[in-house]
Chain A
Amino acid sequence: DIQMTQSPSSLSASVGDRVTITCRASQSIDTKVNWYQEKPGKAPKLLIYFSSNLQSGVPSRFSGSGSGTDFTLTITSLLPDDFATYYCQQSYISPFNFGPGTKVDI
């Protein structure tokens, strides 16, 4: 199985900050990485698929990059609505494992 790791596990930031979250796969997975946002009591939300494709309706301050084993999610100019937990997930092969998550708080 492909294992996903994320760093940092949590971070504190302020409104307006630029935030970068990294994700690493245990083996090369091309660009088959997706990013989700989760808020307490709400369903996860797809932000980015295939490493860099912005899901419809997601603000352009979110962006993704990477290929092979190393990937990043960047949020430029953090807004209050962006404080949440972010998960990467590989869709290269089943089981479609998630990373452990990165909590972004104030």
Chain B
Amino acid sequence: QVQLVESGGGVVQPGTSLRLSCATSAYTFTYYGMHWVRQAPGKGLEWVAVIWYDGNNKNYVDSVKGRFTISSDFSKNTLYLHMNSLRAEDTAVYYCARDLGHRIPATGIMDVWGQGTTVTVSS
């Protein structure tokens, strides 16, 4: 069945960088947009970024603009989140999620989710 598996989380110091990966399987990766959503400890869900199915359009929440970059490697069916200048407030479980839309601009509806990877930013 459709599967999303995140990796790349860890404990890092403020100001450093990290790259998260989301390996996908059992569906045509190039047909669907993808999202990153995070959840800080004890907090609710926060949408972070989206990339359209064709990789040509991206959007971010204001708090990560200029620091995070979402990208897709179609040869590897993998989604990435490049995170620079990390701050303590970026500490969270990061989920990747598939957009419900099929070969259309991202709908913002997330129908399949990974299990998440934990990022801790601490000195």
The answer to whether the Cβ of B68 comes within 8 Å of any Cβ in the partner chain is no
The answer to whether the Cβ of A72 comes within 8 Å of any Cβ in the partner chain is no
Which of A16-24, A40-48, A60-68, A75-83 is the interface stretch? A40-48
Chain A contacts for B59, CB-based, 8 A = 94-95
Chain B contacts for A36, CB-based, 8 A = 45, 110
The answer to whether the Cβ of B108 comes within 8 Å of any Cβ in the partner chain is yes
Given contacts A43-B116, A44-B113, A96-B50, contact A87 B62 (CB under 8 A): no
Chain A contacts for B97, CB-based, 8 A = 44
B113 touches A45 (CB 8 A): yes
CB within 8 Å of A: which of B9-29?
A: none
The answer to whether the Cβ of A71 comes within 8 Å of any Cβ in the partner chain is no
Size of interface on A: residues with Cβ below 8 Å to B: 26
| Residue ID in chain A nearest B108 by CB atoms | A91
A94 touches B114 (CB 8 A): no
| Residue ID in chain A nearest B111 by CB atoms | A46
A 80-103 binary contact with B (CB < 8 Å = 1; else 0): 000000010111101111111100
B44 touches A49 (CB 8 A): no
B108 touches A96 (CB 8 A): yes
Interface residues on B, range: 20 to 34
The one of A38, A55, A101 that contacts B111, using a Cβ cutoff of 8 Å: A55
Given contacts A49-B109, A91-B107, A101-B45, contact A43 B50 (CB under 8 A): no
Chain A contacts for B109, CB-based, 8 A = 34, 46, 49-50, 91
The one of A45, A46, A98 that contacts B44, using a Cβ cutoff of 8 Å: A98
B 85-107 binary contact with A (CB < 8 Å = 1; else 0): 00000000001010010000001
| Residue ID in chain A nearest B110 by CB atoms | A46
A95 touches B100 (CB 8 A): no
B113 touches A95 (CB 8 A): no
Question: How many Å from the CB of B2 to the closest CB on chain A?
Answer: 12
The 3 closest A-B pairs by CB, nearest first: A91-B108, A43-B113, A94-B59
Known: A1-B62, A97-B47. 20 other contacts (CB 8 A): A34-B110, A36-B45, A42-B115, A43-B115, A44-B95, A46-B109, A49-B111, A87-B44, A87-B45, A89-B45, A91-B107, A94-B50, A95-B59, A95-B62, A96-B35, A96-B50, A98-B44, A98-B46, A98-B47, A99-B44
